[in-house]
Amino acid sequence: MGDFFNTLLSPLTIGVAWVMLGWHKLWTTIGIGGGWAWALSIVGLTIVVRIVLIPLFVKQIHASRRMQLIQPEMQKIQAKYKGKTDPESRQAMTQETMDLYKKTGTNPFSSCLPILLQSPFFFALFTVLNHLKAIAEGTWGAIGPIDASVAQQIEKSDIFGAPFSSTFMGSTDLPTKIVTVVLIVLMSVSTFTTQRQLMRKNLPDSALDNPYMKQQTVILYLMPIFFALSGINFPIGVLLYWLTTNVWSMGQQFYVIRRMPAPGSAAERALHERQARKGKTVTPFSVKGLERDASGGTDGGGAGTDAAEAQPPVSRQRQQPKSAKRAKRTGGTGAAGGGAGGAGPASGGGSQAKPDAGTPQDQ
């Protein structure tokens, strides 16, 4: 199974190796060498991966917004079938939920795409770092440009005395254990900060008090334990990659929350206040199919009725032609007279105007 997984990741692993070596050449060219050149190469690799995933991150943001906005509708569906455990009710609830997703264009799995697509890069880097010692000893073949000589160079490099391929559990030296613990703590803090600002600043007040958010809060506080249990088995280089991508996510999330906050959130209110001071307006984020629920009516739905009510009633009374002499004599009172005449049939008290002596009927 392991050989099959390595074969499947082989193209990506070779790509990761080339990107690392390219960054290493850049850092050594500008005068940065030793272990820090390789450490910054891993940072550069992380930046390349995250830049490639920016379009997916934008989709993730929109998917998360849609999921937040449809939560009231989801709660209505759940309340409708609360306590009903029969198969028919379960199926009906599932069908209504899927119809809601289809109606609003929401895909609950879109928010997981960046994480899922970043995982292969993570495991590719893990494969490279995990086999450095075997490549350096000649018991494992080269991975792209990383042959025995390059692997030996990386193996001799370290940061604060901790080699990149060392792990907390697989090493007995104190520097490796200290660096590993520091990286795990920084990873936990950065992830906790990112998720907390997402939950507290970028969620509407109505979305904060529901079972889903309570579950997310529990997960938020369990993450440090997860990092501690998994991080002790990862090489230093992989932990550095993980920390860099967490810091990138934190900065990216801060930018998105500040510039494109979720509707009804504290961040959106802060944005409106900033834009109001500058004399600008903010276009609210909306989800198709929920415009009626959000505004109380479909956009443009009453436009035709309002336009019709704004038009004056059309009089069906036959208009008598005027001679040029009479038109000149009456002047600006024609409009008022026409309005009064038009009101006559509506009230039932109007009478037909008699022809004037100057009209063609007297000729």
Range 155-169 average pLDDT:
89
pLDDT for position 342: 41
**Half-sphere exposure at residue 189, Cβ-oriented, CA atoms within 13 angstroms:** 6
| Tally of residues, the chain | 363
**pLDDT beyond 90 at 177:** yes
Rounded to 5 degrees, φ, ψ at 143 are -110, 95
Q: Which two tokens stand for residue 273?
A: 């206040």
Identify whether the C-beta of residue 361 lies closer than 8 Å to the C-beta of residue 355. Answer: yes
**pLDDT beyond 70 at 353:** no
- Name which of 52-66, 111-125, 197-211 the model is least confident about: 197-211
Q: How far is CA 313 from CA 197, 304, 337, 348, in A?
A: 58, 16, 16, 16
Identify whether the C-beta of residue 63 lies closer than 8 Å to the C-beta of residue 106. Answer: yes
pLDDT for position 288: 58
More confident residue, 238 or 315: 238
Identify whether the C-beta of residue 320 lies closer than 8 Å to the C-beta of residue 359. Answer: yes
Total-model pTM: 0.66
**pLDDT beyond 80 at 190:** yes
Assign 225 a pLDDT band (cuts: 50, 70, 90): confident
pLDDT for position 309: 36
Average model confidence (pLDDT) for the chain? 75
Q: Which two tokens stand for residue 15?
A: 């790509």
pLDDT for position 142: 92
φ/ψ region of 47 (left if φ > 0, alpha if ψ in -120 to 50, else beta) reads: alpha
Q: Which two tokens stand for residue 158?
A: 């370290």
Q: How far is CA 156 from CA 36, 150, 168, 175, 215, in A?
A: 12, 10, 18, 15, 45
What percentage of the chain reaches a pLDDT higher than 70? 71
**pLDDT beyond 70 at 360:** no
What residue spans define the domains of the chain?
2-85+94-273
- Name which of 146-155, 161-170, 299-308, 323-332 the model is least confident about: 299-308
Q: How far is CA 265 from CA 177, 193, 204, 210, 284, in A?
A: 41, 17, 4, 15, 12
